[in-house]
Amino acid sequence: MRQIIAGMFQSLDGVVQAPGGPKEDESGGFAFGGWVVPHFSDTTGAFIDEVFAGEFDLLLGRRTYDIFAAHWPRIENDPFADKFNAAGKHVLTSSGEPLAWQNSHRLADFAAVKALKATEGPRLIVQGSSTIYPGLIENGLIDRLFLLTFPIILGSGKRALPGAMPTAFKLVDHRVSESGVTIAVYDPSGAVETGSFALEDQA
């Protein structure tokens, strides 16, 4: 069975839109594309290298797939680009538009994702693709979640995990970069538990 490893870059106010470049996603008039770049450091770079070490496939939503497919095939003489281009790309989409990037495969629904996860093969890494996270969580498909939180407030833009099912996680690793980026790695731990700080009535 494959592991599904999901990760996001987010601002302090939970924005995940267009972290990597000004033209990545300008929908809704978003003007801060590329907001992670000034805060990248040796620590964040080393963590990303660890995530993508070894063999992996990508699990993507259609919008992220289109962004990646327009970028990575054009990059030459770059080990990271070579990995992305060689990896299998599994795209959760209802669109019938062609998937032109090499090694791309269409997934119709979360049942297809579950069936893929049950096969033998490399890890499935989710990048971007914020719209598929609620379904992955609801169907119990995420094995590990990493969040890189950057020390900025963006005020507007697409937020992390909209409409996700209440789920508890446990922290399994954490780091803080030289530029103040917090890196937290979580595994699912079941249902959300609640409690109260109210004092019991002594009467």
> pLDDT tens-digit profile of 86-142?
999 999 998 888 999 999 999 999 999 999 999 999 999 999 888 999 999 999 999
Q: Dihedral angle at the C-alpha atoms of 171, 83, 87, 169, nearest 10 degrees?
A: 10
Q: Using only C-alpha atoms, what is the Rg of the chain?
A: 18
- How far is the C-alpha of 145 from the C-alpha of 151, rounded, in Å? 19
150-169 confidence digits (pLDDT tens): 999 999 999 999 889 999 99
- Left if phi > 0, otherwise alpha if psi is -120 to 50, otherwise beta: which for 116? alpha
Longest dimension (CA), the chain: 75
Q: Are 152 and 137 in contact (CB under 8 A)?
A: no
pTM score of the predicted model: 0.91
pLDDT for residue 199 is more than 90? no
Q: Which residues contact 99 (CB under 8 A, 6 or more apart)?
A: 65, 69, 89, 91, 105, 106
DSSP notation for 47-107: HHHHHT-S-EEEEEEHHHHHHHHHHGGG--S-HHHHHHHHS-EEEE----S---STTEEEE
Domains parsed from the chain with CATH numbers: 4-190 (3.40.430.10)
Give the pLDDT band of residue 202 (cuts 50, 70, 90): low
- How far is the C-alpha of 170 from the C-alpha of 89, rounded, in Å? 29
Predicted pLDDT of residue 162: 86
Give the pLDDT band of residue 203 (cuts 50, 70, 90): low
Token representation of residue 141? 């498909």
Average of per-residue pLDDT across 171-178: 98
pLDDT for residue 72 is more than 90? yes
pLDDT for residue 177 is more than 80? yes
Half-sphere exposure of 61 (CA within 13 A, CB side): 13
Mean pLDDT, the chain, integer: 95
Average of per-residue pLDDT across 28-45: 96
The 3-state DSSP composition of the chain as helix, strand, coil percent (nearest 5) reads 25, 25, 45
